[in-house]
Structure 1
Amino acid sequence: MLRAAVIGAGIGGLAAALRLRHKGYHVTVFEKNDYAGGKLHAIEKDGYRFDLGPSLFTLPELMDELHQLFQEKVDFDYSSQETACHYFWEDGTQFQAPAQPSKFASKASEVFNEPKKNIGKYLENSKDKYETTKSLFLEKSLHKASTYLNRDTLKAIAKIPLLGITGTLDSYNQTFHNPKLTQLFNRYATYNGSSPYQTPGIMSMIPHLEIGLGTYYPQGGMHRISQSLYELADKVGVEFRFRESVTSINQKNNTVTGISTDHQDYEFDLVVSNMDIFPTYKKLMPDVKEPKRTLEQERSSSALIFYWGIDHEFPQLGLHNILFSEDYPTEFQHIFEHKTLFEDPTVYINITSKLSPEDAPAGCENWFVMINAPGDYGQDWDQMVKQSRKNIIAKIKKVLNVDVEPLIQTEYILTPQDIEKNTSSYRGALYGAASNNKFAAFLRHPNFSKIKNLYHVGGSVHPGGGIPLCLLSAKITADLIPDAQ
């Protein structure tokens, strides 16, 4: 039986391992941590459970597809959500965004005094961009000539001049009269760690994922996504080696021969790296000529996250909540230009105990409180964390009219430094490279390598970061690999 190694048990690595196992390979996954899931991890602290990583679940059919590869089954259930997000501004404006286009347009028209027709047209355009480009940008390798030799791709290429490549997302979103609605749709740039004032207008397709195709919640929380894949992989014979760090990818005559770890050397017929592309070259293949333009791309934003056990319940909050900054342009300027944090941050609060009451003690809530942050460039994170905590508490008080500090029963903090340490994501970037220019998608590393039988998956390579794209990267990669039989 042909043998395949997967480096890293993040969501992309787990999906790749399952797909390779389905193709008949004996698969061994190497993971430096003592758990599977990468950023999709969780902790329990003082009676509270917190999902540590991604908090939004879309395109659940990608998970269904993995679970349907095998006759063996593990539990994985999810429910659709009627409300995509609760939005708040300091002047008292609130908007509970429906996860359905016509309902969204009707409600947003009332709240923001915007013609319903304008909002509906925007959402239709978002859908059109997504459906036009998904086969090119999301479902196939951008770096194979065969991708461009079919009707769907040629239609997508023909439409590119009309998709908003040249202008920014913010300039595209100026179509709205109410600046709050512009700010709401600008927020979607953060879904790939970019700035709305730099990323191209084609990113206006992202709202369709959430509003058009829906948002979902996995039973048991986001951690259940990674754990269900791990349990399935274990059940179908994928071998896992935890607490074993890969130290090099070995090759001879430009062909992979195996890997070395801090334990021993191994021979493999092919290797799939789920490790961030930057350390993959710098640490695992230092003698291989690196793709300089790819590695020098601007990194995506990171995050500063406070996990708070709150001794109170807030009925005005939902699963997903956004408390907007009063000065969005300056906030992104601080993050991407000054590599620091703004004093008036946009605050995201995720509360899974709204749907999983067991995640917090009775009468309490588990708050995942996040602000967008720059990557780690040697800043004084102790000081930045201390000041940001004060700024976040002040923001919550202004918007919700409550001082949450005395309600915090327990606290856990995750910084960009921690994210890099735990997941090997260069500078703690959440999505690999940022998409702050129109060529960013093409500069991402392909899912294959110039070294024969070496492949790449995960958020730092094509098609990008976030759960759906990492799952798609594994699918694209698996399609490039022949069956083992």
Structure 2
Amino acid sequence: MVGGGVGGLATAIRLQSAGHHVTVFERNEVVGGKLATYVRDGYTFDIGPSLVTLPDVFDEVFRAAGTTLADHLELVRLDPQFSYRWADGSTLTVPDRDDDTAAAFEAFAPGSGDQWRSFDARGRRIWDVAARTFFAGPMSNPWALAKRMRSPFDLTAIDPLRTLHRSATSFFDDPRLVQWADRYATYSGSSPYAAPATLACIPHIEARFGCWYPMGGLDELRSAFAWVASQVGVEIRTGTEVTGIEAGERVTGVVLADGARERADVVVANTDAEHLYADLLHDSVALARVRLAKRSTSGFVLCLGVRGLTPNLTHHNIWFSESYRAEYDQLDGGSLADDPTIYACVSSVTDPSQAPDGCENWFLLVNTPQGIEVDADAYGDLVLDRLAARGVDLRPRIEFRHTMTPTDIARRYRSPGGAIYGTSSNGKRAAFVRPANRGSKPGLYLVGGSSHPGGGLPLVTTSAKIVAEMIAEDLGR
């Protein structure tokens, strides 16, 4: 296993539990990939994923190892889920349950309660079909998807031919709620003006299955994966970088940074597909195919230790830009947004252990183009100025700030351009040009955010299931 991200660990657990001997090589000192933590002066920040959805996906992996997710984590279902704030001063706080959500939308904009119910019903239909088709197996070509469909109507049900923005405008009259729906494209590092309406299943998933937080922080999930992997017998070697993959007609093993060679019948790459084919396997044909897929956005991160408590703050918060169209025009053009949408996770609202008494741990994230150089001090000031203009002036209360730029993300995770989610969902062909789970050589497999079905904790864990099933089929066990 090249890389010990969540996708790699989930694959390793499944394969080891099925009787294979698995060794994970991780270049960093801890496994978990982007599921990472920054700790300073009594503050703890989740600097990767900050939200757990579809916990049953993780529980299925743990059950394959003879345990359960609940044996290792205390998961709390968040209520409210998010607070959304607009430039006009309006706020929508989304509760956890369907009836309450419809009422919140109706109170926010008369008539929108029923519109939300219709939008959610469409999301339910998309999810119910996608779960048994798109997410149920590999996507090497359109026929792979077609074979899992029960009827031609399944294709129209997942709404792949119009954009998320176009779908949102067909359901909501209020432009603020269109922007609310459009934001879900960012879950895959994509643009609502280019990503398919299929992504409308994401808000439905949150409404139906909940938004969850593991007490102690997302690092508890990382630790649980690592512990279960070790318990079933996976050999985990941290601080050990793979610098090459050896192959003839099929892969035969890996080369480590110290020159050592490790033989293997199967190599699973839990690393960016572009890095895999450019730097490890040196396969120019496969690399050219991979580069057909568009990279996801990157991000600019601010971790702030903040004195005092902020009124009306929730665990997850969004301050929208005045114009999403203008923001994405800049991002798509390769520039930083002048007026960025700001996401803030303040987990100390739910879990006081994440900050000193009377303080808050602010994790701020704004979208940026991948591959861009960012002046961390200047752009950090801009983000804080924008928050202050919205009535939340953290500047006098900040004890420290820690930043991450696209360059930092690229360096830390071997992610070209700092693309957080690997490949984006932009364009009608995105699902079919995303790197396949079966690699360019027999015995090579890809798992993780840059391969099918995409980025995010539930999807990379689903990717692990797909890869483990492919290996079982190919090896006959």
TM over 0.5: yes
Does structure 2 conserve the Cα–Cα contact (< 8 Å) formed by 1:301 and 1:336? no
The residue aligned with 2:95 is: 98
The within-5 A match list for 1:268-279 is 268-279=264-275
Distance in 2 separating the partners of 1:153 and 1:194: 26
Structure 1 CA distance for aligned equivalents of residues 278 and 440 of structure 2:
16
The question of 1:452 aligning with 2:442 is answered yes
In the aligned structure 2, how far is the partner of 1:177 from the partner of 1:424? Answer: 42
Paired residue for 1:236, among 213, 216, 232? 232
Distance across 2 between alignment mates of 1:405 and 1:262: 44
Distance change >3 Å, CA 331–CA 146, structure 1 → 2: closer
Could you say if the C-alpha distance between residues 409 and 456 of structure 1 is closer, same or farther in structure 2, counting changes exceeding 3 Å? Answer: same
Given that 1:45 and 1:410 are in contact with CA atoms closer than 8 Å, whether structure 2 keeps it comes out as no
Structure 1, residues 355-382: CA drift from partner, whole Å, max 9, x if none? 21011111100000110111124x3x22
Q: Is the 1:90–1:398 Cα contact (8 Å) retained in structure 2? A: no
2:78 alignment partner in structure 1: 81
Q: How does 1:312-323 map to 2 (within 5 A)?
A: 312-323=308-319
Asked if 1:442 is matched to 2:437, the reply is no
Q: 1:114 to 1:294 in 2, by over 3 A?
A: farther
Corresponding position of 2:36:
41
Q: Tell me if 1:309 matches 2:310.
A: no
The farther-off stretch of 141-150 and 100-109 is: 141-150
Pick one of 419, 434, 449 that aligns with 1:429.
419
2:133 is matched with which residue? 136
Question: Which piece of structure 1 moves more, 426-435 or 75-84?
Answer: 75-84
Equivalents in 1 of 2:289, 2:440: separation in Å?
16
- The residue that corresponds to 1:388 in the other structure is 379
* Aligned match of 1:3: none
Secondary structure of the 1:56 match is: coil
Instruction: Answer whether contact 1:294 1:445 (CA < 8 A) is retained.
Output: yes
Alignment of structure 1 residues 213-228 onto 2, 5 Å: 213-228=209-224
Separation in structure 1 between the aligned mates of residue 143 and residue 225 of structure 2, nearest angstrom: 31
Aligned to 2:401, the other structure's residue is in SS state strand
Q: Determine which of 406, 413, 418 is the counterpart of 2:403.
A: 413
CA apart distance, 1:341: 1.2
Q: Deviations over 1:15-69 (max 9, x none)?
A: 1110110111111100111111111011210111111111121000111112212
Q: Which amino acid aligns with 2:105?
A: A
Moved more, 350-359 or 469-478: 350-359
Matches within 5 A, 1:138-217: 138-143=135-140, 147=144, 153-155=149-151, 157-175=152-170, 176-217=172-213
Task: Give SS of 1:125's match.
Answer: helix
1:112, 1:180 within 8 Å by CA — same for their partners in 2?
no
CA distance in 2, matches of 1:184, 1:83: 16
Match of 1:15 in 2: 10
SS in 1 for 2:300: strand
Range with bigger deviation, 413-422 or 195-204: 195-204
CA distance in 1, matches of 2:470, 2:286: 22
1:62-119 per-position Cα deviation (integer Å, ceiling 9, x unaligned): 1111221223676222121222211111222111112333321121011122342222
Contact 1:147–1:153 (8 Å) recurs in 2: no
Letter in 2 for 1:77: E
Counterpart among 448, 457, 464 of residue 474 in structure 1: 464
State whether residues 299 and 375 of structure 1, in contact with CA within 8 Å, keep that contact through their aligned partners in structure 2.
yes
What is the alpha-carbon distance in structure 2 between the residues aligned to residue 38 and residue 148 of structure 1? Answer: 29
TM-score, normalised on structure 2? 0.95
Q: Name 1:59's counterpart in structure 2.
A: 54
* 1:330 and 2:326 matched: yes
2:362 alignment partner in structure 1: 367
- Residues 142 and 432 in structure 2, CA contact (< 8 A), matched pair in contact too: no
Give the aligned residue type for 1:60: P
> Residue 54 of structure 1 contacts residue 222 of structure 1 at CA under 8 Å; is this kept in 2?
yes
Secondary structure at the counterpart of residue 139 of structure 1: coil
Point out the more displaced range, 459-468 or 79-88. Answer: 79-88
- How far does residue 148 in structure 1 lie from its aligned partner after superposition? 5.1
Aligned: 1:349 with 2:340: no
What is the distance in 2 between the residues matched to 1:472 and 1:331? 32
Cα 1:72/1:191, change in 2 over 3 Å:
closer
Aligned length, in residue pairs: 471
One-letter code aligned to 1:423: Y
**SS of match in other structure, 1:369:** strand
- For residues 23 and 146 of structure 2, the distance between their equivalents in structure 1, rounded to whole angstroms, comes to 35
Q: 1:160 to 1:72 in 2, by over 3 A?
A: closer
Q: Work out the percentage of aligned pairs sharing the same amino acid.
A: 34
Rate the CA distance shift 1:199–1:278 in 2: closer, same or farther, 3 A: same
**One-letter amino acid of the structure 2 residue matched with residue 335 of structure 1:** L
Shift of 1:467: 0.3
What code does the residue aligned with 1:10 have? Answer: G
The alpha-carbon deviation at position 192 of structure 1 amounts to 0.6
SS of 1:122's partner is: helix
| Counterparts in 2 of 1:248 and 1:310: CA distance versus 1, 3 Å | same
* Structure 2: gaps (5+ residues): none
Measured after TM superposition, the shift of residue 402 of structure 1 is 3.7
Partner Cα distance (1:287, 1:373) in 2: 30
When residues 398 and 288 of structure 1 are mapped into structure 2, their CA distance, relative to the original with a 3 A threshold, is closer
- Code of the residue aligned with 1:228 in structure 2: it is A
Indicate the RMSD between aligned Cα atoms, in angstroms. 1.8
Residue 125 in 1 paired to residue 122 in 2?
Answer: yes
